[in-house]
Structures are given as C-alpha cells and as structure tokens.
Amino acid sequence: MEIRWSKDTACVCLYKDRRLTEGVFFKDRVSLFMTHKLRKGNVSLLLKNFMLSDVGNYQCQVISKDRTEEITVRVRINPDVQPVSQSPIFQDGNAQLMLHEDKKTREPSKKLSRHASHHSQSDEKQHGNYSTGVSSNDNFQLVIPQTTQEATISMGSEFIVPCYLSPEICATAMQIKWFKEMDCVCVYKNRRVIEGRAYKDRASLITHELERGNVSLHLSNFSVSDVGDYHCQVISRDGTKEITVGVRIKPEVQPVSKSPTSPDQSIQLKLFEIHKIWTEEETNKMDESALMSEMKVNNVQELHQMLIKAYTEKDRQLEKTEQALRETRTDLDRALRLNPQFLDRDNPNPF
C-alpha cells in the first residue's frame, strides 16, 4: 500500500512502491518499521533526534487500490508531569509525552477517488473517524522549515529566505514571484528567472531544486538593508498560494543600533511566517513592480506607456481582422447573388 505521514501541513515521509522518501524538513530523521512489521500492519512512524518542535498533530494516510483511510495522532507534553514552560531544551533533558487520537470530525476532500471507502460502523468504533479522498497535484501549502528559522549571516555573503511547497511537489511548471515589501525581487516564469530592477545580479532561485518543491529565494551580497518582510506567490493551475516571511535581527544577540557593517562581521537573524494581510493598493503595487521587471522598464510611467502601446497595437490588429472579415462576407454575398444555385439544397451538384 501507499503510506503518507505528515505533521500539520509538512510532509514527514511517503512510502510508495516499496520505497521510503523523507520529507524535506525531516531529512535523515524519519523511518518506518520496514518489511517485517509492515506485513503485520504496523505503519508506525519513527523519528530520530527528538526536539520540542516535533510536538504537534501527525496525520497518517494509508491508500490501497480501492480505499483511503486516515487518522490524526496528537502528540503533546504531559502538563501534569512536565509544565510546558519548563520543557527541557538540552540534550540530557527528558519530557513526558501524551499521544492520543484526534477524533475531531474532518471535512472530506472535494476530490474523491473513484472508489468509495467501505469501512463499517464497527471499524469506526474500533479505529475512530476516517475520511476518504486524494489530493490534487496542486493542493499544497507554502511553509518555512523549522530548521531554517534562525541564521547567522556574514555581511556580503549569500542569504536565503526559505520557502517550500508542502507536500513536496514539483514547481518547475509554476510561476513564482518574490517581493520585499512591495518591490519585486524576482519572477520565475516560463522556466526562467527575471531579477527585479533593484536586485540585478543578486536574486536567484535554485532551479533544479524546484523539482523538490524548494522555491526559496537566494540573495547574494547580504546587507542590513535586506532585513524586512518578504512575500512569495506561487501560481499554479488551481490558483495562487502566498506566504510572508519576516526577516529580523535578533535583538537579544545584536542590537539593531549596533548592527555590523564591515564584511568580516556577522549578525544573527530570525525568520518566521507573518500572517499579514496586504491591502489592494499594496498588491497592485506588487503587480506593477513585477510587470516592470518582466518588461524591463524603470518606472511606472514607462510601464503605462508600454501597456497603452501594446493595447493600441492589439486594437489595430483587431480592426484589420474585422475589416478582412467584412470584405470576405461581401465577396461571399456577391458570389451567392451571381450563383443562386449554391443555395439550392435539392441540387445534388450545384457546380
């Protein structure tokens, strides 16, 4: 069978065709009880190098030829034994965990498999609530790996704003836009990266990593002015997914007023998702900035002039097409008047 484990929205691992593929955020940490246990129906997840960030909701999907079953397991620190505020953070610390099934009713997927699920009421009593369904290839979320939420950056070095598709699917055919505030950093379109006007020779994506859902932004020659809010848009057939990543200097490590400026100094950054709602005016400015990058113009006035010119040219082409159609219709009308037998349906051979 096919077995999928995920934590919240992040893919943990996928077992398919007798091969295990790890999620990008759980590299070298995850495994299943292979062959001998799978034969007995043990699809338990094993995680190495436990961290507090592993606490959360885990969903398991088991997919066979004619049905899909799933269950959600909640992993929590036991507050009766170890208060969360005192949870261990060192390697020699221990935490006592609670694991239990989340029986919260789930909304079934709108995209169901052709074969319905056939679990009985006794199955539900024994195993909890299940729902059936398969995901679209474009049914993904944008996430930031927990392992990249802190970074030590030297001035002038390469800086990465992390962003991944979860579950891990190929993004090579999608369109990707990165902005800092409302200024376009780069656009990936038609398998080509176009840099923003203010990021010439600085912004890039690792195109071969797009196959694994890695749409992270790479910026060379880092400076303190690169600190701020970065907005990523990934456009697929099913719509647009967005995420905003905040990049901040850690004040407890390096006060902003004393931020280093010399090349041999470094600063510590924290990176985190911001639940920011962009106004219509701000998104319009983003669209203008992306268009300016694609059309290689320097200001909004030039962009508007180019758009007006393009629309005018299309209008001229449309007028020419309409004129040609009118002339063709006139020629046909003239031919029918001169040769009325063309309209005689009873004549087997009007010619």
- pLDDT for 230 beyond 70: yes
What tokens appear for 288 in the block?
Answer: 């203008």
- For residue range 52-109, list pLDDT tens digits in order: 778 888 999 999 888 889 899 988 877 655 544 444 444 445 667 778 777 654 444 3
| Residue with the larger pLDDT of the pair 250 and 171 | 171
| Residue with the larger pLDDT of the pair 302 and 220 | 220
Predicted confidence at residue 174, as pLDDT, reads 94
- pLDDT for 160 beyond 70: yes
Predicted confidence at residue 52, as pLDDT, reads 78
CATH topology of domain 2-127: Immunoglobulin-like (2.60.40)
For domain 141-296, the question of CATH label 2.60.40.10 is answered with: yes
Predicted confidence at residue 83, as pLDDT, reads 46
Burial of 267: CB neighbours in 10 Å, binned 0-12, 13-18, 19+: buried
- pLDDT for 112 beyond 60: no
- pLDDT for 215 beyond 90: yes
Predicted confidence at residue 85, as pLDDT, reads 42
The whole-model pTM stands at: 0.52
Strand order in the sheet with 10-16: 19-22, 10-16, 2-7, 56-63, 68-77, 97-101
Average model confidence (pLDDT) across the chain: 78
Q: Alpha-carbon torsion 218, 231, 189, 147, what sign?
A: positive
| Residue with the larger pLDDT of the pair 251 and 160 | 160
| Residue with the larger pLDDT of the pair 95 and 291 | 291
| Residue with the larger pLDDT of the pair 253 and 112 | 253
- For residue range 129-141, list pLDDT tens digits in order: 323 233 345 578 8
Predicted confidence at residue 74, as pLDDT, reads 87
- pLDDT for 117 beyond 60: no
Average pLDDT in the 245-271 region? Answer: 73
Average pLDDT in the 214-242 region? Answer: 93
Of the candidates 40, 68, 63, 60, the residue with the CA atom closest to the CA atom of residue 101 = 60
- pLDDT for 306 beyond 70: no
Predicted confidence at residue 114, as pLDDT, reads 30
Average pLDDT in the 185-203 region? Answer: 93
Position 219, amino acid? L
Cis amide linkage into residue 108, ω under 30° from 0: no
Are 27 and 147 in contact, with CB atoms under 8 Å apart? no
Average pLDDT in the 27-56 region? Answer: 84
Are 179 and 286 in contact, with CB atoms under 8 Å apart? yes
| Residue with the larger pLDDT of the pair 35 and 268 | 268
Of 31-40, 62-71, 195-204, where does mean pLDDT reach its minimum?
31-40
Predicted confidence at residue 40, as pLDDT, reads 85
- For residue range 8-20, list pLDDT tens digits in order: 778 899 988 888 8
Beta bridge partners of 67: none
Tell me the C-alpha to C-alpha distance, in Å, between residue 207 and each of 158, 176, 235, 256, 341: 16, 11, 16, 34, 64
Predicted confidence at residue 262, as pLDDT, reads 60
